[in-house]
Structure 1
Amino acid sequence: MPETLLLRTFLAVAAELSFQKAAQALHVAPSTVTSRIMALEEELGATLFTRSSRRVVLTEAGQRLVPHALQVTELAARTRRAVSGEEEASEVRLRVSETLGTFCLPPILRRFREACPATRVHLAVTSREGTASDLRRGRIDAALLLGEPFSAPGITVEALGREPLVVYTAPDGPLADSQDVGPDDLAGVPMVLTRHAWSVRSLMERVVGGDGMDMPGRVECASAVIVRGCVMAGLGVSVAPHFFVARQARRGLVRLLTWRGEPLSATILLARDRTRAASEPLKTALRMVREFFAQRGQSFQSGQPGQPVRPVSGRVYEKRR
């Protein structure tokens, strides 16, 4: 059986699809990563990666090795803990879209703490970029995202519902006097957008016509909360999930604009690495997440106000290795 060191190096390269990035993650020289991969390929008698000057791609043999390498390295880690007498850490590591996290996590984590009071919860608030890599490497256990469905090798992506997006501005901001707005009305209007969140950037580029997003006065920020503040200050128009600006709209701090173009919405996504076994606390957390959005979907169907999520029957998007 190959050494676990070689398998961990292989998994690092498979996650990053880059020898350079794998070396950085492992804190070793790129030449060390190369020599380990060569040693592993020689021992297994198979080429695991195809390399070119621009990209690294897993071969079919490499794809087959990934789940087995994960099992072996995880078993080795559990064996070390058992021999040393260490208890397996009880923790749940989640990556969450910022807007979605501010809305759903407080009630979910309140229930979770009652069920699993000793479990530590680590939250990473960020976009979808790098999610598949972090899931494969075990940096996170699951990701709760707002965006467009995607597929990645070994990653199961479950759709929990669709959330309407709204175009909004300050009460005295751009387009505030318009009865309704469409794609043509956004031409030349300052936009305030997060760079990668919920695939809104690509969606807005599509509805306003590609390069139209490169207009003067556009503000780009990594934080949806800062974007909302900039819009409230009158710096431009933005797009957000309805729940993220509903309270500000009720208080008269922003104005929701009637959109007459292509309907704007984003899918609530739950992503997991299907090759990794879920701990009992993680299973509990995922169940509570699903129950939260299932309840919102039922509220939408019954017409209750303030619950705009649209159920999508838990569709799963999966790309096998």
Structure 2
Amino acid sequence: MDIRQLRTFLAITELGSFSKAALQVNLTPSAVSQQMQALETEIGVPLFDRTSRPPRPNTAGMQMIDAARELIRTADDAIGTITGRKVVGTLAIGSVRTSAMSLLPKAIVQLRERNPDLRIRLRVGSSDALLQDVAAGRLDAAMVAENRDLPAALRWNPFIREPLFVIAPPDTPAMPDQDLLRAFPYIRFRAAVPLAQTIDHELARMNIPLTEIAEIDTISSITSCVANGLGVSVVPNIAIRECPAPLVAVPFGDPVVTRRIGLVQRIGNARAVMIEQLLTDLRNVSGDHASS
């Protein structure tokens, strides 16, 4: 088994045919077939259902896809480290749906400017699913909030610690956070994520009688509702920074409540060099609230 065979195998699975893969890897269709036959002989099982036209990966072939990606990425990383070349290969990244996700594209652009041969594969999902995918090697890293139940095989490195604010519509008179929460209808962030739990915990500690007008599961929708006068809410600093409307913002809690977001990766990850570069770029784009 060699890397060329694995690249050809992935090209077939991605493009759907031997002939299209041959064009991508600069081989003849017969050479592609010979590579796949040699790969199947070495592995000891067929990887394609050749009764269909074009041949499609069978069950073993589908299982081989993740293994091939992992082997190619590991080889690319090793070659880059040994030769001193810029980072190459593919970096598979996951992210939760968070207001801080806007930082990730900025950091990726910086990373790719230094490493133009690096390919990025990004997936958005729930925190639990992302942690499982990182632990299983399906993702190299994932952007998630601080998690107390992190599996022992994973390491989490923060890149931002930002304060939370009570936000109110433009032109709202300035007043303390608790007065805002008492005086105006409250828009609750209702989602199964640590940020929502942090906000609810502090509100419970304050013991303020809230007049709830809405429950919304995305921060961007909350800032839009507040900007249009529906009520007040609690959001992280970056949501205010990204909102085009001039919201009134007052620090939330005493002391001010914060939330941390970081990158999680497997301990001993072969792509640690890439992930460390991405982590540095995320801290750079996080501005005054960068965390280490």
Q: Which TM-score band (shorter chain)?
A: 0.5 to 0.7
Equivalence for 2:136: 137
Equivalence for 2:264: 271
Q: Does structure 1 conserve the Cα–Cα contact (< 8 Å) formed by 2:95 and 2:130?
A: no
Deviates most, 161-170 or 288-297: 288-297
Equivalence for 1:92: 91
TM-superposed deviation, 1:202: 1.2
Return 5+ residue gaps in structure 1 as ranges. Answer: 1-72, 298-306, 315-321
Aligned residues: 215
For residue 225 of structure 1, the aligned residue among 220, 224, 227 is: 220
Q: Once superposed, which parts of structure 1, at least 4 consecutive aligned residues long, lie more than 4 Å away?
A: 78-82, 147-150, 210-215, 293-297
For residue 235 of structure 1, the aligned residue among 230, 243, 266 is: 230
Equivalence for 1:182: 178
**1-side partners of 2:126 and 2:179: how far apart?**
25
Q: Give secondary structure in 1 for the equivalent of 2:186.
A: coil
| CA offsets 1:67-125 (integer angstroms, 9 cap, x no match) | xxxxxx99x9359989xxxx9993222122432221x2233222222333343322223
Q: Give secondary structure in 2 for the equivalent of 1:253.
A: coil
When the two structures are superposed, what TM-score results if normalisation uses the length of structure 2?
0.59
Q: Give secondary structure in 2 for the equivalent of 1:95.
A: strand
Look at both structures and tell me which one has the larger radius of gyration over its CA atoms: 2
1:109 aligns with 2:121: no
Equivalence for 1:156: 155
Return 5+ residue gaps in structure 2 as ranges. Answer: 1-62, 78-87
Equivalence for 1:191: 187
**1-side partners of 2:209 and 2:288: how far apart?**
28
TM-superposed deviation, 1:194: 5.2
**2-side partners of 1:262 and 1:132: how far apart?**
31
- For residues 295 and 125 of structure 1, do their structure 2 counterparts lie closer, same or farther at Cα, with a shift above 3 Å needed? same
Equivalence for 1:253: 246
- For residues 126 and 262 of structure 1, do their structure 2 counterparts lie closer, same or farther at Cα, with a shift above 3 Å needed? farther
**2-side partners of 1:128 and 1:108: how far apart?**
20
For residue 277 of structure 2, the aligned residue among 265, 288, 294 is: 288
Q: Tell me the amino acid that sits aligned with residue 250 of structure 2.
A: L
For residue 77 of structure 1, the aligned residue among 67, 80, 90 is: 67
**2-side partners of 1:213 and 1:121: how far apart?**
47
1:308 aligns with 2:288: yes
1:203 aligns with 2:198: yes
When the two structures are superposed, what TM-score results if normalisation uses the length of structure 1?
0.54
**1-side partners of 2:146 and 2:69: how far apart?**
39
TM-superposed deviation, 1:256: 0.7
State the Cα RMSD in Å.
4.0
- For residues 217 and 185 of structure 1, do their structure 2 counterparts lie closer, same or farther at Cα, with a shift above 3 Å needed? closer
- For residues 229 and 267 of structure 1, do their structure 2 counterparts lie closer, same or farther at Cα, with a shift above 3 Å needed? same
Q: Give secondary structure in 1 for the equivalent of 2:67.
A: helix
- For residues 228 and 292 of structure 1, do their structure 2 counterparts lie closer, same or farther at Cα, with a shift above 3 Å needed? same
Q: Does structure 2 conserve the Cα–Cα contact (< 8 Å) formed by 1:180 and 1:260?
A: no
TM-superposed deviation, 1:266: 0.8
Q: Give secondary structure in 1 for the equivalent of 2:213.
A: coil
**2-side partners of 1:90 and 1:136: how far apart?**
20
TM-superposed deviation, 1:215: 5.9
Q: Give me the identity figure in percent.
A: 17
Q: Does structure 2 conserve the Cα–Cα contact (< 8 Å) formed by 1:96 and 1:125?
A: yes
Q: Give secondary structure in 1 for the equivalent of 2:276.
A: helix
